[in-house]
Amino acid sequence: MKSTWLPSSLLLLLVELSCCVSLQDGGKPNFVLMMVDDLGIGDLGCFGNTTLRTPNIDQLAEEGVKLTHHIAASSVCTPSRAAFLTGRYPIRSGIAAKQITSVFILNGVSGGLPSHEVTFAKIAKQQGYETALIGKWHLGLNCESSDDHCHHPNAHGFNYFFGIPLTNLRDCQPGHGTVFQLYKYLPYRTLGVILVSVVLLHYVGLITLRRRLVLGLLSLLAVLTGLTVGFIKMTLYLNCVLMRDHVVVEQPFVSENLTQRMTHEAVDFLERNSAGPFLLFFSFIQVHTAMFASKAFRGTSRHGIYGDAVHEVDWSVGQIMQTLDRLKLRENTLVYLTSDQGAHLEEITATGEVHRGWNGIYKAGKATNWEGGIRVPGILRWPGKIPSGRQVDVPTSNMDLFPTVVQLSGAAVPEDREIDGHDLMDLLQGTVERSNHEFLFHYCNAYMNAVRWHPRDSTSVWKAFYFTPNFYPENETACFHTHMCFCTSDYVTYHDPPLLYDLTRDPSESTPLTPDTEPAFHSILAVMKEAVEKHQRSVEPVENQLSGWNMIWKPWLQPCCSTFTQLCQCREDEEGG
């Protein structure tokens, strides 16, 4: 028998080619996961909008599956993103505040997603994936020094990072005001009563105010006011930071063309890693305030700068989809698009310019657990694996992406911790009719706010509220007096018995049920109460990453690309980047 012989170099080349082919054709899929910031479910044409143009996202929905009852695990950015990455309720990671502030608003703080948490990126990386996060992080940066980067995306499984470690604060664009609106929370009435009382007591002779004491108090007040104003002015340089991996490349960043730059970074990543497998998390900075759009998109919508920003997001999605097609990766890439929570309804400028999105028929918006705050778009496409044009109306969660990605990457879902998400593939492919979410729990910061129940023998989806935010003005479904709704006792109304809705019959949550209108009222609430108690027993105590200490600005943790005396300023092109 005659033996065949191949040069060793050619043999190695054939082996490498066969590995690439097996990965792309019959092996591990690629993942492109896109999350838009503060996008309302009603802002997309495929979810009912008729005045904004979103052809690329609409096409994605036509070619895949649309989730109409897709729920964010939190109604604000930081906890919602923690849940998305880990498949766990944010309270399990300690990303649940007990005070008013529920997200990170400073770079120089010590809180963040703990290192012991496991993200889908970390598992995918272990499975041989190239991983990247482009865009917004908002889950912390440092622990003990300005460059330890213990909470950095690279520490959580992302090989490459280009984006902002915090969020797009209105402070990052001159002329848009500040997020640090301290004047809204000062105790004016108490201070006024104290001042008037002291003056009266001095006037009737019961106390004597020394001139030196008065001057000292006024001086102290002036110093504190000056420091506060100075800190707010410095926010532009402290918090508006653009990074590439571990290097600050722009401080403060320029917003206008940032979506364009991020899109180019995403395309470059796809081109560099087209042999796969890869995982790209494109975390849009738009459409969070302060609003921006590049020159090509300004004035293209009927809804001002907000609509222009939505148009630019849709363009970006189109660029990524075209790149997948050009690289012949369409058939082996699972694409997902969502929003981290509902539209921020309080975003209306002092001059009346609307900077907010639309939540369709759903009540209220961001920072509430009404449907408008947590029901978000859910679109998944994977040609040949997921049928096109399919719609799923049963409850699903953004936490479900964790087990879905993990299992498709070839790994097993961790068994050493509670995972609250459920694999979506059977539901997407239509082999089952309902998801595994019988109950979904809705926290407002660290407080159990509401619970959703989809009984296994019923089409109804019940939702009970234990407290609701106090809207202002009362005829609105928003909290304009504080710019967003809060969860602490001064800002909410508690309900006993809880408010109960059947979302199947009343998705707008317009009329709460009563024992008169729902015969099973008390038994439904009893089942939900038992489920809440069981869930709460499964929550183990962990360090609160949003505690007062973890949220206090610590100068030694502040990222700065130059020096504080130079106001931490740099531009990537100036560094030869």
**pLDDT, tens digit, for every residue of 349-361?**
878 888 999 999 9
pLDDT at 25 over 70: no
Q: Label residue 576 by pLDDT band (50, 70, 90).
A: very low
- Distances in Å between the Cα of 115 and the Cα atoms of 109, 149, 154, 170, 552 are 16, 11, 11, 30, 20
pTM comes to 0.88
Task: Decide if 65 contacts 314 (C-beta within 8 A).
Answer: no
Asked if 138 is an active-site residue, the reply is: yes
Q: Label residue 208 by pLDDT band (50, 70, 90).
A: confident
Kindly give the residue spans of alpha helices, DSSP state H, lying in 22-99.
Answer: 55-62, 77-86
Among 138, 151, 303, 311, which one carries the catalytic annotation? 138
Written as one letter, the residue type at 19 is: C
Structure tokens at 338: 């969502």
Q: With CA atoms as reference, report the closest residue to 248 among 565, 563, 36.
A: 563
Sheet holding 439-444, edge to edge: 439-444, 447-453, 462-469, 492-502
Q: Residue 548: helix, strand or coil by DSSP?
A: helix
CA distance 208 to 217: 15
Structure tokens at 56: 């690329």
Neighbours of 572 (CB within 10 A): 17
pLDDT at 23 over 50: no
Tokens 């019940």 sit on residue = 462
Asked if 560 is an active-site residue, the reply is: no
Report the chain's mean pLDDT, rounded to a whole number: 89
CA distance 156 to 121: 7
CA distance 510 to 512: 7
Radius of gyration of the chain (CA): 26
Q: Residue 371: helix, strand or coil by DSSP?
A: helix
Q: What pLDDT score does 5 carry?
A: 41
- Distances in Å between the Cα of 130 and the Cα atoms of 30, 33, 154, 160, 277 are 10, 14, 12, 8, 7
Among 46, 69, 70, 77, which one carries the catalytic annotation? 77
Mean pLDDT of 95-115: 95
Cα–Cα–Cα angle for 496, 498, 504, rounded to 5 degrees: 165
Mean pLDDT of 502-520: 97
Cα–Cα–Cα angle for 153, 337, 51, rounded to 5 degrees: 130
Task: Decide if 141 contacts 165 (C-beta within 8 A).
Answer: yes
Task: Decide if 363 contacts 372 (C-beta within 8 A).
Answer: yes
pLDDT at 157 over 60: yes
Indicate the helix (H) or strand (E) that contains 12: helix 8-21
Axis crossing angle, helix 77-86 with helix 401-408, rounded to the nearest 10: 30
Q: What pLDDT score does 179 carry?
A: 55
Phi first, then psi: what are they for 112, rounded to 5°? 170, 180
What share of the chain has pLDDT > 70, as a percent? 85
